[in-house]
């Protein structure tokens, strides 16, 4: 399975667009070993299976920003039309639309990558919460230590009174 599609290769193709983790049609086509045109054709034929929370088309501005983020594209290497962005649910739907054994195997690898990404994000959130708790716990720590030292200095600075003997004094 990992020989089919290395999970690192999938993880590098997950983008955060419009607050959602998505993969783009041209990246998915590479993983499925299909031309992007064929993938888009299959999606258009089954458009009712892809509601807005499964798939959306990038705006021209989003696409241009993404092209800058990905790097310089070869002339003719990518469509002049904005790509489709597929959410995790949309990618799962793609395996039923494409219907090939490779599509099923690739989708399994992609789903594992999404799960791993969720686990990593969850771990980071837990660490952030614990760090905030520690910061709050020790927030006044420095001022508390300073006030202890100030109290010790005050005690040390007080003049020592001479000790008077108790009892009668004889002349």
pLDDT in tens, 108-152: 888 888 888 888 877 877 777 777 777 777 777 777 777 887 887
Strand order in the sheet with 84-86: 15-17, 20-24, 84-86, 55-57
Greater confidence (78 vs 137) lies with 137
Band (160; pLDDT cuts 50, 70, 90):
low
For strand 55-57 and strand 84-86, is the pairing parallel, antiparallel, or unpaired?
Answer: antiparallel
- Kindly state the tokens that stand for 126: 């837990």
Q: Which domains, and CATH codes, for the chain?
A: 7-127 (3.10.260)
Residue 75's pLDDT band (cuts 50, 70, 90): very low
Strand partners, 85: 24, 56
């Amino acid at each position: 399975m990992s020989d089919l599609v290395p999970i690192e290769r999938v993880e590098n193709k997950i983008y955060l667009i419009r607050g959602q983790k998505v993969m783009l049609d041209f990246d998915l086509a590479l993983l499925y070993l299909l031309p992007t045109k064929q993938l888009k054709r299959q999606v258009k034929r089954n458009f009712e299976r892809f509601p807005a929370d499964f798939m959306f088309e990038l705006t021209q501005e989003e696409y241009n920003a993404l092209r800058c983020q990905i790097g310089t594209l070869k002339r003719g290497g990518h469509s002049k039309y904005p790509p489709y962005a597929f959410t995790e649910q949309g990618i799962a739907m793609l395996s039923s639309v494409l219907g090939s054994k490779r599509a099923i195997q690739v989708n399994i690898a992609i789903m594992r990558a999404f799960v791993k990404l969720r686990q990593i994000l969850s771990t980071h959130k837990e660490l952030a919460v614990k760090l905030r708790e520690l910061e709050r716990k020790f927030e006044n720590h420095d001022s508390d230590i300073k006030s202890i030292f100030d109290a010790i200095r005050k005690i040390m600075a007080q003049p020592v009174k001479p000790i008077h003997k108790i009892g009668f004094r004889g002349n």
